């Protein structure tokens, strides 16, 4: 199995305090990998460091075997796309114009939009189901529509690897599943390597083929959903007691949290 992204003993953080200290991880090509863990465990930090959004203090990040920091940033942008948690939509921009921004790394200075660009944009709009919105201003869209437009922008960037930082936060359950389905389709049809930070263990188990569980800036476990989503690991990582049962349709592991209270007692 080839490694699309490899982090070798990276240390990073904000200012003097290190959030991640000498972490190594390899992400396989053509798969959906989910980063899970409690708040402030460093999963977003890891995602940002491998996408060069955060400088690393030590170690190296390899993208398709090449050190990411030795490559010009535009070249990296043609191979690796990242959708951060809260991108900003410029005032009164239309969906079509916003998605067009995804072509940025492919354009030369002074070059106008080409037909090839337009075809990629149209494909991105259609794949995300946002083609109907093409002439609408982004600030008039609902949260779910807007998130799909952002994903369309990331698709227009047309990179073999796509990183997403909590792509389903702020969305209702139907829109969450819609976004996850879309990512699964993309992965299946184009072989795109997808890495996403997720707060939802059950969705991660359903859609990802590899899960990385983090706590306190280091990786506790990495493997298939069956390997990672065990009662023991969930207790180790989240400090949460739970029951793991197979999904009735897919047999993927699903967790049912057990709180402090005994909910079997009827009032």
Residues of the shown chain interacting with other proteins in the complex, contacts defined by CB under 8 A: 14-15, 48, 51-53, 55, 73-78, 80-84, 86-94, 96-97, 101-102, 104-105, 107, 109, 113, 118-119, 121-123, 125-127, 131, 134-135, 138-139, 143, 146-147, 150, 157, 181-182, 184-185, 188-190, 207
Q: Cβ closer to other proteins: 114 or 241?
A: 114
Report yes or no: 10 and 22 within 8 Å, Cβ to Cβ: yes
* Beta carbon of residue 181, minimum distance to other proteins (angstroms, whole number): 5
What sign results for the dihedral spanned by CA atoms 181, 190, 94, 48?
Answer: positive
Instruction: Give me the phi and psi of 153, to 5 degrees please.
Output: -60, -45
Q: Cβ closer to other proteins: 90 or 257?
A: 90
Q: Cβ closer to other proteins: 22 or 188?
A: 188
Q: Cβ closer to other proteins: 93 or 220?
A: 93
Report yes or no: 36 and 201 within 8 Å, Cβ to Cβ: yes
Using DSSP bridges, classify how beta strands 193-197 and 32-36 pair: parallel, antiparallel or unpaired.
parallel
Q: Which of 74, 73, 56 is nearest to 7 (CA)?
A: 56
Using DSSP bridges, classify how beta strands 17-28 and 3-14 pair: parallel, antiparallel or unpaired.
antiparallel
* Beta carbon of residue 259, minimum distance to other proteins (angstroms, whole number): 31
Q: Is 262 helix (H, G, I), strand (E, B) or coil?
A: coil
Q: Cβ closer to other proteins: 122 or 220?
A: 122
| C-alpha dist (Å) from residue 104 to 82, 113, 135, 151, 167 | 13, 10, 20, 15, 21
* Beta carbon of residue 88, minimum distance to other proteins (angstroms, whole number): 4
* Beta carbon of residue 212, minimum distance to other proteins (angstroms, whole number): 20
* Beta carbon of residue 169, minimum distance to other proteins (angstroms, whole number): 11
- Residues in Cβ contact with 144 at an 8 Å cutoff, skipping those fewer than 6 apart: 171, 172, 174, 175, 178, 179
Q: Cβ closer to other proteins: 16 or 260?
A: 16
Q: Cβ closer to other proteins: 106 or 236?
A: 106
What CA–CA distance (Å, rounded) separates 194 from 247?
23
* Beta carbon of residue 126, minimum distance to other proteins (angstroms, whole number): 5
* Beta carbon of residue 59, minimum distance to other proteins (angstroms, whole number): 18
């Amino acid at each position: 199995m080839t490694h699309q992204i490899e982090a070798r003993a990276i240390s990073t953080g904000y200012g003097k305090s290190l959030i991640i200290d000498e972490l190594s991880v390899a992400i396989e090509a053509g798969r959906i990998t989910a980063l899970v863990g409690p708040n402030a465990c460093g999963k977003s930090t890891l995602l940002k460091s491998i996408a060069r959004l955060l400088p690393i203090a030590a170690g190296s990040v390899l993208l398709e075997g090449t050190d990411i920091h030795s490559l010009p940033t535009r070249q990296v942008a043609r191979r690796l796309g990242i959708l951060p948690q809260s991108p900003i939509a410029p005032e009164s921009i239309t969906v079509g114009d916003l998605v067009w921004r995804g072509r940025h790394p492919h354009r030369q200075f002074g070059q106008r939009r080409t037909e090839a660009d337009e075809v990629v944009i149209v494909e991105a709009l259609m794949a995300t189901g946002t083609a109907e919105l093409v002439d609408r201003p982004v600030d008039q869209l609902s949260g779910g529509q807007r998130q799909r437009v952002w994903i369309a922008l990331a698709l227009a960037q047309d990179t073999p690897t796509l990183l997403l930082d909590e792509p389903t936060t702020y969305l209702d359950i139907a829109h969450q599943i819609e976004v996850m389905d879309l990512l699964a389709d993309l992965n299946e049809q184009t072989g795109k390597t997808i890495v996403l930070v997720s707060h939802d263990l059950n969705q991660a188990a359903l859609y990802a083929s590899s899960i990385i569980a983090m706590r306190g800036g280091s990786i506790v476990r990495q493997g298939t959903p069956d390997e990672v989503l065990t009662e023991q690991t969930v207790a180790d990582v989240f400090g949460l007691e739970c029951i793991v049962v197979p999904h009735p349709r897919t047999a993927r592991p699903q967790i049912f949290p057990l709180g402090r209270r005994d909910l079997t007692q009827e009032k």
